[in-house]
C-alpha cells in the first residue's frame, strides 16, 4: 500500500473496502483513504459521501465511527430512511470495490484533545446518542480509551429494541474489556428487559447514573427533541451549558417569522454570471433548493449549516442567513453564505464555490 504523504483535503473518489450489516436497515462501510493521503480528523467529525443521481452530484454528511489512529481507513454507518436519497443509494449500491465521491472530514462537533488532556480536565465524559447518533460516539470512545485511560466514559445509547442496536457487539465488548467504560442502553420496546433500561432516557436516569458533584463533559447526538430534553436534564444536574455539546443534521429555521409558509410570497431574480444563468426564487425558498432545482453545481451535504459544502458568495444584493456554521468572520465579511440556510431578500448576484 502507498504510504500516506499528506492529509486528505477536498473531494476524492474512495473505494469501499468492507461492508457489515449492523441491523436490518443499517450497514457500516469501511473506505480507504485517497491514494498517497491520510485521513486526519478529530473524534466526532464527519465526512460527506455522495453519488451522481439524475446527472447531478448529491452528498450527505455521515459521522465517522472509527479510531482517529487509523489514518488509512475510516468507517461510517448508514441507516435506511424513507426518502433518504443518498443513504438509500449507498445501502442499495455500495459493496466492497465500489467507489463513491467524498469530501474530507469536517465539522465543529468533536472532542477537544487539548481540553481532555489537560491536567484539570473533567474525568467523567457522558456520551449520549440515539439511533445512528452512535457513530461519532464510537470515535470519541476509541480516542478517550487510548489517550485518557483515567477518564470514566458514561455511554448512553437509545434505540427501539435489541435488533435496532448499532455496533451492539462492539460496545458490549468495550464494556467487558474496560472497567471505565460504563454502558447504559435505553430501549423503548425491549425483548430482554433485564439487559437494558426498559424506557426512554430521562432526567431521572441522568441524576442516578452520572456522578453528583463531579465535573462532567457531555456530548449529544440524535434527534433534536432528544438532545433538547437531555440538555435540559444535564443543566438541571448542575452541568454548565459550556460543557454540553450537541450534533444534529436538520434543516434550520431561517429567522423569526421566516421559513416555509411565513416569508413573503415575493419572487426574486438570482443571477449567476459564472454560468450565464438567471433563475427565479421565492422569498420562502432556500438558496440551496433553488440552485439544486435548476441543476447548478452546488453540494448540499448536511443541509443544516454544519459542513459548509454549500457555501457561495453574494456579489450583490441582500440575503438573510440563520447560521454561518464553519464560515469565518472574514468569510462573512467577504459576502459568503451557506445556501442551505439562506433566503433572498431581493434580487441577488451569486458566485458558487
Q: Which domains does the chain have, with CATH numbers?
A: 6-106 (2.40.30.10), 113-247 (3.40.50.80), 267-352 (3.10.20.30)
Q: Is residue 56 pLDDT above 90, yes or no?
A: no
Q: Is the C-alpha dihedral spanning 62, 68, 73, 77 positive or negative? A: negative
- At residue 63, the pLDDT reads 94
Grid cell at residue 331: 468569510
Paired with 217 in beta bridges are 125
- At residue 294, the pLDDT reads 85
Q: Is residue 47 pLDDT above 80, yes or no?
A: yes
Q: What H or E segment, with its residue span, contains residue 314?
A: strand 311-316
- At residue 217, the pLDDT reads 96
- With cut-offs at 50, 70 and 90, classify the pLDDT of residue 341: confident
Distance, C-alpha 215 to centroid of its chain:
26
Q: Is residue 313 pLDDT above 50, yes or no?
A: yes
Identify the weakest region by mean pLDDT among 33-42, 236-245, 299-308: 299-308
- At residue 260, the pLDDT reads 36
pLDDT digit string, tens, across residues 203-216: 899 999 999 889 99
- With cut-offs at 50, 70 and 90, classify the pLDDT of residue 265: very low
- At residue 261, the pLDDT reads 36
Grid cell at residue 322: 440563520
- With cut-offs at 50, 70 and 90, classify the pLDDT of residue 191: confident
- At residue 121, the pLDDT reads 92
Q: Is residue 285 pLDDT above 50, yes or no?
A: yes
Most confident of 1-15, 41-55, 188-202, 291-305: 41-55
The larger pLDDT score, comparing residue 1 to residue 301, is at: 301
Average pLDDT over residues 288-309: 83
- At residue 139, the pLDDT reads 98
Planar angle of CA 256, 261, 264, nearest 5 degrees: 75
**Rounded CA separation 126/220 (Å):** 8
Distance, C-alpha 211 to centroid of its chain:
28
Exposed, middle or buried, 183 (CB in 10 Å: 0-12/13-18/19+)? middle
- At residue 69, the pLDDT reads 95
Q: Nearest to residue 201, comparing CAs of 129, 141, 138?
A: 129
Give me the phi and psi of 326, to 5 degrees please. Answer: -85, 0
CB 223 within 8 A of CB 130: yes
Question: Residues in the chain, how many?
Answer: 353
- With cut-offs at 50, 70 and 90, classify the pLDDT of residue 308: confident
Grid cell at residue 321: 442567513
pLDDT digit string, tens, across residues 221-262: 998 889 999 999 999 999 999 999 998 654 443 433 333 333
- At residue 329, the pLDDT reads 87
- At residue 155, the pLDDT reads 98
Distance, C-alpha 132 to centroid of its chain:
10
- With cut-offs at 50, 70 and 90, classify the pLDDT of residue 3: low
Angle of helix 168-177 relative to helix 134-147, nearest 10 degrees, comes to 20
Q: What is the mean pLDDT of the chain?
A: 88
CB 81 within 8 A of CB 223: no
**Rounded CA separation 304/302 (Å):** 5
**Rounded CA separation 237/154 (Å):** 15
Identify the weakest region by mean pLDDT among 82-96, 110-124, 202-216, 257-271: 257-271
**Rounded CA separation 165/125 (Å):** 21
What is the residue whose three cell numbers read 443518498?
A: 86
- At residue 253, the pLDDT reads 39
Amino acid at each position: 500500500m502507498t504510504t500516506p504523504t499528506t492529509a486528505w483535503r477536498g473531494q476524492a473518489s474512495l473505494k469501499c473496502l468492507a461492508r457489515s450489516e449492523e441491523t436490518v436497515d443499517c450497514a457500516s462501510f469501511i473506505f480507504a483513504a485517497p491514494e498517497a493521503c491520510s485521513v486526519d480528523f478529530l473524534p466526532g467529525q464527519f465526512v460527506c459521501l455522495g453519488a451522481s443521481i439524475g446527472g447531478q452530484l448529491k452528498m450527505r454528511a455521515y459521522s465517522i465511527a472509527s479510531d482517529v489512529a487509523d489514518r488509512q481507513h475510516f468507517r461510517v454507518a448508514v441507516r435506511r430512511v424513507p426518502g433518504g436519497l443518498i443513504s438509500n443509494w449507498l445501502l442499495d449500491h455500495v459493496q466492497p470495490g465500489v467507489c463513491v465521491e467524498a469530501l474530507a472530514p469536517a465539522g465543529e462537533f468533536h472532542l477537544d484533545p487539548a481540553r481532555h488532556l489537560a491536567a484539570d480536565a473533567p474525568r467523567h465524559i457522558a456520551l449520549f446518542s440515539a439511533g445512528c447518533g452512535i457513530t461519532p460516539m464510537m470515535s470519541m470512545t476509541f480516542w478517550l480509551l487510548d489517550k485518557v485511560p483515567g477518564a470514566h466514559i458514561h455511554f448512553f445509547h437509545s434505540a427501539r429494541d435489541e435488533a435496532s442496536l448499532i455496533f451492539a457487539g462492539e460496545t458490549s465488548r468495550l464494556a467487558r474489556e474496560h472497567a471505565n467504560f460504563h454502558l447504559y442502553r435505553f430501549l423503548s420496546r425491549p425483548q430482554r428487559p433485564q439487559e437494558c433500561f426498559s424506557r426512554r432516557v430521562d432526567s431521572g436516569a441522568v441524576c442516578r447514573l452520572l456522578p453528583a458533584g463531579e465535573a462532567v463533559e457531555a456530548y449529544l447526538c440524535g434527534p433534536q427533541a432528544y438532545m433538547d430534553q437531555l440538555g435540559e436534564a444535564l443543566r438541571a444536574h448542575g452541568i454548565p451549558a459550556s460543557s454540553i455539546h450537541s450534533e444534529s443534521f436538520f434543516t434550520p429555521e431561517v429567522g423569526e417569522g421566516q421559513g416555509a409558509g411565513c416569508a413573503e410570497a415575493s419572487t426574486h431574480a438570482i443571477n449567476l454570471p459564472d454560468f450565464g444563468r438567471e433563475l427565479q426564487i421565492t422569498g420562502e425558498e432556500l438558496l440551496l433548493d433553488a440552485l439544486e432545482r435548476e441543476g447548478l453545481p452546488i453540494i448540499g451535504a448536511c443541509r443544516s449549516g454544519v459542513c459548509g459544502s454549500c457555501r457561495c458568495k453574494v456579489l450583490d444584493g441582500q440575503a438573510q442567513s440563520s447560521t454561518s456554521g464553519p464560515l469565518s468572520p472574514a468569510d462573512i465579511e467577504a459576502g459568503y453564505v451557506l445556501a442551505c440556510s439562506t433566503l433572498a431578500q431581493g434580487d441577488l448576484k451569486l458566485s458558487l464555490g
